[in-house]
Amino acid sequence: MDIKFKDQSPEKLKTPLLTIPVKEQGLKDPVIRVLDRLLKGRLSERIERSRFTGAQGSTLLYPTEGRLPASHLLLLGMGKEPEIESHAWRKSAARAAKEAIGLWAQEIDFFLPPFGDVSKISGPIAEGALLSSYQFLKYRSDDRRPQPLRTFNLVKPGFRRTSETDRGLRLAQELTPGVFLARDLINEPPSISTATYLAEQALQHCRSQRVKVEVWGKKKIAAMNLAGLLAVNRGSQEEPRFVMIRYQPQGKPQKKVALIGKGITFDSGGLSLKSSKAMETMKLDMSGAAAIIGTMSVIANLQPKADVTGYIPTTDNLPSGTAQKPGDIIRYLNNKTVEVLNTDAEGRLILADALALAAKEKPDYIVNLATLTGACMVALGTEVAGIFGNDQPLVDQLIRSGREAGEKLWQLPLVKEYREDIKSSVADIKNVGGIHGGAITAALFLQEFVANRPWAHLDIAGPAFTDKENALSTKGGTGFGVLTLLKFLEGL
Ligand code: BES
Ligand code: ZN
Ligand code: ZN
């Protein structure tokens, strides 16, 4: 999609769809008045009849029937907050783009109103337009596919480019492919998107001058004593992989960051087998890994000043005669022992290896992403990820990055008292807690492996996958986490 600025008055634009964002009670804005005058009052009449007020998220589509050079007007309600959050712009652009596709229009003109600061909003608007265009059609054979949007114009009378506006557009175009890659990896069927496949994809999409990718096979994983990954992999016909993706900035790095993603390519539960219903979406269980691969595939376009290493433990989790059994004990490379009481709590088992290994490098920050618990979904639903951490500034920074990226993170507590729930009688800890607070006991389990380094854990079980299409994503993998991580890295 071609995204560009256009210095023109909206009423003169010959376009299939002219989009005008309006604030609540902002229907007397000059641009609306000009258009209404040209339409001889029909627009205000229509606004009144439809009771459109500009409330956040509301839209009004108006066909001009040849009375204006633009064939349709789309009014987008932006709400009445004094300052509109960047995500509202992202969503409104996505809605406008979807509307254009519905009209079979290949071009759209999006008016940048005076109440939005161009240098701040054009990046998110471009992101919204791009994100809404994602489709996963490689397995569909129906032929009536809507035409993709070809051109998205940002219209601003008297517009003058600055390095900031250019950078916003460039980054939107260069970073959204990272989200798309994550979505593709998640949407791919689980018998294709295996550990071997993920490693190959990481090599194919991340390797560049500044980014090195290293893939460990089963032998090396055993030699490095990644005991959790081996234990979970025991039931499988597929080999496990451990992938490391390292970006090094030009000059001396400011900070060292470890990013870790859960890469369970299919979670059947293992011998603690899930129900068939619960398994239906379990190809999503590598969404944490997908977010890291997506992020690392575009990191060189962002050029953060930090040294960033992605760590991805990956395997499927299946039952068989060789599978690990409830009651088995794993000894980790930091010498901690874990009693496996439920083979369906496998994410924490493979993350423990990666956390312990990453902590040995003494990074300034460790951030892990994982579709870890159903309990986190129960607590926060499908729009919001849980975030836990032992370092409040790091957690705060990630929450802020999430807000800018349009990805909601809500902090949940690492309740010390619940540490009791993961005590084992035969090993140091066990891999399940009690019936309550499952997202918290999972996080407490992970904390055992971070060697007190500043660490944050994002439980993305809810937002990683959507069963309803929305403006910014189709059904399936959302790529949640990629934009948050990139914002976070940009700020280091
Ligand atoms: N992959 C699941 C968590 C999950 C559930 C993600 C639903 C997305 C949607 C994880 O491995 C799991 O099975 N967790 C168990 C833990 C329990 C056995 C302690 C759960 O949440 O039920
Ligand atoms: Zn599981
Ligand atoms: Zn899982």
Q: How open is the CA angle 311-316-322, to the nearest 5 degrees? A: 120
Index of the ligand 1 atom closest to the CA of residue 431: 19
| Mean pLDDT of all residues in 63-90 | 94
* The predicted structure's pLDDT at residue 25: 84
274 is catalytic: yes
pLDDT at 144 over 80: no
- Cα(206)–Cα(212) distance, rounded to whole angstroms? 8
Spell out which residues have Cβ within 5 A of ligand 2, the ion.
267, 344, 346
% of the chain beyond a pLDDT of 70: 100
| Mean pLDDT of all residues in 6-35 | 93
- Higher per-residue confidence, 101 vs 418: 418
* The predicted structure's pLDDT at residue 82: 81
For ligand 1, mutation pick of 277, 314, 351, 372 (most atoms within 8 Å of CB): 372
Name the residue with the closest Cα to ligand 1, atom 8.
461
Is 444 touching ligand 1 by the criterion CB < 6 Å? no
Is 326 touching ligand 1 by the criterion CB < 6 Å? no
Name the pLDDT band for 92 (thresholds 50, 70, 90): very high
Index of the ligand 1 atom closest to the CA of residue 281: 9
- Cα(103)–Cα(100) distance, rounded to whole angstroms? 5
- Cα(220)–Cα(226) distance, rounded to whole angstroms? 9
pLDDT at 145 over 80: no
pLDDT at 331 over 80: yes
Name the pLDDT band for 310 (thresholds 50, 70, 90): very high
Is 70 touching ligand 1 by the criterion CB < 6 Å? no
Cβ(39)–Cβ(32) below 8 Å: no
* The predicted structure's pLDDT at residue 117: 94
Task: Show Cβ contacts of residue 290 under 8 Å, excluding neighbours closer than 6 positions.
Answer: 181, 182, 183, 185, 186, 198, 261, 477, 479
Q: For the segment 158-178, what is each residue's pLDDT rounded down to a tens digit?
A: 999 899 999 999 999 999 999
* The predicted structure's pLDDT at residue 27: 84
pTM for the model = 0.97
* The predicted structure's pLDDT at residue 125: 98
Q: For the segment 260-294, what is each residue's pLDDT rounded down to a tens digit?
A: 999 999 999 999 999 999 999 999 999 999 999 99
Spell out which residues have Cβ within 5 A of ligand 3, the ion.
264, 267, 285, 347
3-state secondary structure of 436: coil
* The predicted structure's pLDDT at residue 445: 98
A 10 A CB-CB count for 11 gives 15
| Mean pLDDT of all residues in 417-446 | 98
Q: Would you give the DSSP letter of residue 114?
A: T
> Which member of 274, 336, 403, 419 is catalytic?
274
Name the pLDDT band for 433 (thresholds 50, 70, 90): very high
Q: For the segment 23-74, what is each residue's pLDDT rounded down to a tens digit?
A: 998 888 899 999 999 999 999 999 999 999 999 999 999 999 999 999 999 9
The length of the chain in residues reads: 492
Mean residue pLDDT across the chain: 96
Q: For the segment 376-414, what is each residue's pLDDT rounded down to a tens digit?
A: 999 999 999 999 999 999 999 999 999 999 999 999 999
Q: For the segment 218-236, what is each residue's pLDDT rounded down to a tens digit?
A: 999 999 999 999 999 999 9
Is 109 touching ligand 1 by the criterion CB < 6 Å? no
- Cα(273)–Cα(458) distance, rounded to whole angstroms? 25
Name the pLDDT band for 148 (thresholds 50, 70, 90): confident
Index of the ligand 1 atom closest to the CA of residue 264: 1
| 355 phi, psi to nearest 5 deg | -65, -45
> Which member of 348, 408, 453, 487 is catalytic?
348
325 is catalytic: no
* The predicted structure's pLDDT at residue 347: 98
Is 313 touching ligand 1 by the criterion CB < 6 Å? no
- Cα(405)–Cα(90) distance, rounded to whole angstroms? 9
CA of 292 to the centre of ligand 2 (A): 20
pLDDT at 143 over 80: no
Tokens of 118: 């161009």
CA of 270 to the centre of ligand 3 (A): 10
Q: For the segment 389-398, what is each residue's pLDDT rounded down to a tens digit?
A: 999 999 999 9
For ligand 1, mutation pick of 264, 265, 339, 344 (most atoms within 8 Å of CB): 344
Cβ(144)–Cβ(92) below 8 Å: no
Is 155 touching ligand 1 by the criterion CB < 6 Å? no
Q: How open is the CA angle 241-454-364, to the nearest 5 degrees? A: 75
| Mean pLDDT of all residues in 371-379 | 98
Is 462 touching ligand 1 by the criterion CB < 6 Å? no
Question: Which residue in the block uniquely carries the two structure tokens 């499908």?
Answer: 382
pLDDT at 146 over 90: no
Question: Which residue in the block uniquely carries the two structure tokens 């009688």?
Answer: 425
CA of 106 to the centre of ligand 2 (A): 43
Is 344 touching ligand 1 by the criterion CB < 6 Å? yes
* The predicted structure's pLDDT at residue 449: 98
Name the residue with the closest Cα to ligand 1, atom 7.
374
Cβ(287)–Cβ(377) below 8 Å: no
* The predicted structure's pLDDT at residue 28: 86
